[in-house]
Structure 1
Amino acid sequence: MTWIDLPDGTPFGPDNLPLGVFRLGDEEPRIGAAIGDHLIDLAPVASAQMLDGSQLFNQPTLNAFLALGRPAWKATREWLIDLVRNENNRDAVEPHLVPRSAVTMLLPFEVADYVDFYASEVHATNLGRLFRPDSEPLLPNWKHLPVGYHGRAGTVVASGTDIVRPSGQRKPPTADTPTYGPSQRLDIEVELGFVVGTPSKLGTPVSVDAFEDHVYGVVLVNDWSARDLQAWEYVPLGPFLGKSFATSISPWVVSLEALKDATVPLPRQDPPVLPYLQGDLKNPDITFEVHWNGQLVSTPPYSEMYWSPAQMLAHLSVNGASVRTGDLYASGTVSGNAKDQRGSFIELSWGGREPITVNGEERTFLQDGDEVTITGWATASGGARIGLGEVTGRIAPAVS
Structure 2
Amino acid sequence: MATAGKVIKCRAAVAWEPNAPVVIEEIEVGPPQEGEVRIKIVASSLCRTEIFHLFERKDKQGFPTVLGHEGAGVVESVGPGVTDFKPGDTVIPVSVAQCGECRFCKSPKTNLCERNWVNYHVDLMSYPTTRFTCRGQPILQFTSTGTFSEYIVINQIYVIKIRDDAPLDRVCLLGCGVATGYGAAINTAGVTPGSVCAVFGLGAVGLAAVMGCKNAGASRIFAVDINEQKFEKAKVFGATDFLNPKAYNKPISEVLAEMTNGGVDFSLECVGNTEVSRTALESCVKGWGVSVLVGYTDVDFSARPIQLISGKTWKGTLLGGFKMKDSLPNLVNDYMTGKIKLDEFITHKMDLEQINDAINLMKTGQCIRCILNISK
TM range (shorter): under 0.3
Of Structure 1 and Structure 2, the greater helix share is in 2
Q: Determine which structure has greater relative contact order: mean sequence separation of CA pairs < 8 Å that are 6+ residues apart, divided by chain length.
A: 1
Q: TM-score, normalised by structure 1?
A: 0.25
Q: TM-score, normalised by structure 2?
A: 0.26
